Chain A
């Protein structure tokens, strides 16, 4: 539940940034990418759809995407994402609690964008 809420808030923040944050707008540019964040069982998740300078979303973990960040469970996902720490993500990945499906670079791009917005 907490993870779903976090992803919803994240979406609202990014959506707002698309409107008001020049740096973020420039970051997303004309890119067309679907980034999914979900739990391994697919029960929780949110899809972020970037399409030529716009952002839209779908809830749920069952969508097709260009890259997905897959958390072993919702509470780890919440804890690590809320911390915003690269080190935490690294540890989670090392412990098998975080996995990337598709290209890791797209996830990096997505999280770089989040860092820009949270700055």
Chain B
């Protein structure tokens, strides 16, 4: 009868049951036996420089692979450092499995090293949080954790594993592995709601389809493509739904940008929203015209009427709902509507479209973005992170890749610092695809030490810093509210982030002129190293996202 170290059971479950190949974290004494398990079961570990980054990488790894991402944290400070990343996954509905050490059960209330009540702290930002007290039940707890993370509306889960169980040896057969990995079971919408939705869609004159993260996690590009092509509905895919169909699809309206989206929304008579929350970015539903009819599709029934009563509500996984809707909807050509909304939107973003084409001194951020697009192209993964920077990246970058342009600072937690960790996860998940992070100079600071991680693990991501020497979105917002002469904590300096990266063993480029952008990007990509292209841009430019943000907090 073979024995097994209980810490190894964790790795055995990950590898053999869930087929997890990569985990993210930082070491610690409390979780040593689990770390040794990763060696035993040949699971790749990406050891980072701050636990926040580990949680963010695992989060993004799940976005790019469609399977729950896994991170490990040691007890106490490892845990607290990870909290921002866990909260971000919670707000973004991303399946993340957090495996965490804790002080020994034996030493409870004795002032043990890193003794704290982690479960109570993490509960409000997880779907499920528990401590395992019995080594034999580790596989069972792991299965519960994965099931909670992945099923229904996804989200982070937290499993606390004390040394009292990780560090003991037990007979292998006393902790049997479940026969099957976690799987999602179908949830299907009611027939009468399907008929009602099809009626609304068939009678629409100026419809618009909006897809969110639910579209991405449904991996429904075939059904979605068939649906939009049959109905002729123009669409925009947001959050982690972006790229489920290429941005270059003739019915995608990403070329109209966020401004075009708002302009179009105002004229739409039917809105089909799939796996998308009407949160502050949609002014909690207020941007949708009162007269418009709304069809909501969501895996979570509580979301259907949230912030706007739906005229038809379809509960289920987006792909399976669209598959059922497809035979009920009529084939339509809505070319005229698509041409009209495009032409109208272009008139509203005229200056932005021109700024992409013209050399500028100082460099306009949208011009920088246009040059990145020119050099790196549509077959790349882009990550955006920053305030105004996020806006320019989201509207100016286009790809054919699933989750091709993502950001988190534009999501619900609005968490700066996700760019570099997300970029690392992107490169690990799709090593043959170029990965470019567009970073604000402020946001760059949070996780730039992860360049060391990239160098150690040979992860050649190119990070382009849109360097306006400021927390730009905050600065421009303060200019509107308290006035430019009273800026507070809003400015940064001219810093050579490129030299910092060179010091860590990466490739650095410093750009101040328009004509230097393209050669610098090409050299960075060709270097085969993690690279930082530090581009000085116009500090006076702001984006439409900033006044929107300013208005959302205005109380009088």
The residues of A with any CB-CB pair to B shorter than 8 Å are: 26, 29-32, 52, 86-87, 90-91, 93-96, 98-109
Q: Which residues on B sit within 8 Å (CB–CB) of A95?
A: 343
Contacts of A32 in B (CB 8 A): 479-480, 483-484
Give the contact stretch, choosing among B30-38, B118-126, B348-356, B429-437: B348-356
Distance (whole angstroms) from the CB of B66 to the closest CB of chain A? 35
A90 near B350: Cβ-Cβ < 8 Å: no
Q: Is the CB of A94 within 8 A of B480?
A: no
Whether B480 lies near A93 (C-beta < 8 A) is no
Instruction: Identify which of B128-136, B259-267, B447-455 touches chain A.
Output: B259-267
Contact yes or no, A100 B348, CB < 8 A: yes
A101 to B340, CA, bound (A): 19
**Which of A52, A93, A101, A106 has a CB less than 8 Å from the CB of B547?**
A106
Residues of A within 8 A of B345 (CB): 93
Residues facing A in B256-287 (CB within 8 A) are: 259, 262-263, 266-267
**Bound Cα distance from A103 to B350, whole angstroms:** 9
Interface size, chain B (Cβ < 8 Å): 28
- Point out the residue from A26, A52, A93 that lies within 8 Å of B344, measured CB to CB: A93
Known: A99-B348, A103-B542. 19 other contacts (CB 8 A): A29-B480, A29-B554, A30-B483, A32-B483, A52-B483, A90-B267, A90-B344, A91-B344, A96-B347, A98-B347, A99-B347, A100-B347, A102-B351, A104-B349, A105-B259, A105-B547, A106-B547, A107-B348, A109-B551
List, in ascending order, chain A residues with CB within 8 A of B341's CB. 94
| Cβ-based interface call for B526 (8 A) | no
Taking a contact as CB atoms under 8 Å apart, the answer to whether B347 and A93 are in contact is: yes
Contact with A along B326-366 (1 / 0, CB 8 A): 00000000000000110111011111000000000000000
B539 shortest CB reach to chain A, Å: 16
Given A86-B266, A94-B340, A101:B350 Cβ within 8 A: yes
Which chain A residues border B350 with CB–CB below 8 Å? 99-101
Say if the beta carbon of B482 comes within 8 Å of chain A: yes
- Please report the C-alpha to C-alpha distance between residue A100 and residue B544 in the assembled complex, in whole angstroms: 13
Tell me whether B556 is interfacial, beta carbon within 8 Å: yes
Which residue in chain A gives the minimum CB-CB distance to B541? A103
